[in-house]
């Protein structure tokens, strides 16, 4: 099979299990958590390292920002043999009581993006693979921080979220944002809905773990009024994605062991 056009990879370059950060600069950092690792390719926003965990080949490929570039990465990785994906990234907490530096594990995603709508009608839900979700939950003890499991919101416009009042669609953006908070949505990010929808269509396994980099709702959000919980300090400094990375890598170890036990081989 020829090399895939965007990711510059071919059959054999990656393992069955792939971690998906957005930032290309985070790939080497993640790969150092493997038992072994080596650089494979860099093309556009897609950086790839491969290595081993417990003797099984695993990889990390960056997706860039947003659903459109994530879709390309997942489509092309699937074509060359990958079938299990965990997004490892950052998010902004939407519930006022969720502290910066905790982690959020997504069981599903609000499809406020554009890419996933070109795959499935909006009525179709974006949900995590249950096996991957359970592995992430089981693995989260290694994070050393608070763990929150639930719905995340995915959008295409970063500034539509952070500066909605200056957008022509401000009334709609603000109305929906407050509705999602009242509904219990944990955090906002940009890739998970696309990942989950494509995984459903292609019969892949996918999950997401995110480090909380900020909290827009802390002290001012509707969440405090609705749930009656105290808001966290919104000035806490973000310390990085290490808790999410550790959780994702441990989840891969769990999945590898389960796959070997189930089928005798993890590939």
For residue 22, the 8-state DSSP code is S
Phi-psi sector, 12: left (phi>0), alpha (psi -120 to 50), beta: left
> How many other CB atoms are there within 10 angstroms of residue 133's CB atom?
22
- What's residue 59's pLDDT? 98
> How many other CB atoms are there within 10 angstroms of residue 213's CB atom?
18
Is residue 6 situated within a structural domain? no
Structural domain that includes position 117? 17-259
CATH of the domain at 138: 3.40.50.1580
Is residue 1 situated within a structural domain? no
The answer to whether 187 and 88 are in contact (CB under 8 A) is no
Q: Which two tokens stand for residue 99?
A: 């502290």
pLDDT in tens, the chain (267 residues): 689 999 999 999 999 999 999 999 999 999 999 999 999 999 999 999 999 999 999 999 999 999 999 999 999 999 999 999 999 999 999 999 999 999 999 999 999 999 999 999 999 999 999 999 999 999 999 999 999 999 999 999 999 988 999 999 999 999 999 999 999 999 999 999 999 999 999 999 999 999 999 998 875 444 344 455 667 776 788 999 999 999 999 999 999 999 999 886 665
Count of domains observed in the chain: 1
- What's residue 229's pLDDT? 66
What are the C-alpha distances in Å from 190 to residues 28, 50, 114, 207? 22, 25, 11, 14
The answer to whether 129 and 200 are in contact (CB under 8 A) is no
Is residue 7 situated within a structural domain? no
Q: How far apart are CA 85 and CA 26, in angstroms?
A: 16
Is residue 196 situated within a structural domain? yes
- What's residue 217's pLDDT? 82
- What's residue 169's pLDDT? 93
pLDDT, tens digit, 9 for 90 and up, residues 203-255: 999 999 999 999 988 754 443 444 556 677 767 889 999 999 999 999 999 99
Is residue 149 situated within a structural domain? yes
Q: How far apart are CA 168 and CA 165, in angstroms?
A: 8
Q: Which two tokens stand for residue 112?
A: 């406020």
């Amino acid at each position: 099979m020829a090399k895939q056009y965007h990711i510059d990879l071919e059959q054999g370059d990656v393992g069955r299990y792939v971690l998906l950060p957005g930032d290309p600069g985070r790939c080497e950092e993640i790969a150092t958590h493997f038992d072994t690792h080596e650089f494979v390719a860099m093309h556009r926003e897609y950086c790839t390292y491969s290595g081993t965990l417990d003797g099984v080949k695993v990889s990390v490929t960056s997706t860039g920002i947003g659903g459109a570039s994530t879709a390309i990465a997942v489509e092309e990785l699937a074509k060359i043999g990958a079938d299990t994906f965990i997004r490892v990234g950052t998010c902004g907490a939407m519930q006022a009581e969720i502290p910066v530096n905790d982690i959020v594990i997504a069981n599903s995603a609000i499809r406020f993006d554009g890419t996933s709508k070109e795959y499935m009608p909006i009525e179709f839900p974006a949900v995590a693979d249950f096996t991957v979700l359970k592995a992430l939950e089981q693995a989260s003890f290694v994070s050393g921080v608070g763990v929150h499991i639930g719905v995340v919101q995915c959008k295409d416009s970063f500034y539509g979220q952070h500066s909605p009042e200056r957008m022509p669609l401000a009334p709609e953006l603000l109305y929906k944002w407050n509705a999602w908070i009242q509904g219990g949505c944990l955090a906002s990010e940009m890739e998970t809905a696309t990942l989950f929808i494509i995984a459903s269509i292609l019969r892949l396994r996918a999950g997401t773990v995110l480090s909380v980099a900020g909290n827009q709702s802390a002290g001012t959000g509707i969440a405090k009024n609705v749930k009656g919980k105290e808001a966290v300090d919104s000035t806490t400094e973000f310390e990085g994605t290490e808790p999410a990375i550790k959780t994702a890598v441990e989840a891969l170890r769990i999945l590898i062991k389960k796959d070997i036990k189930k089928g005798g081989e993890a590939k």
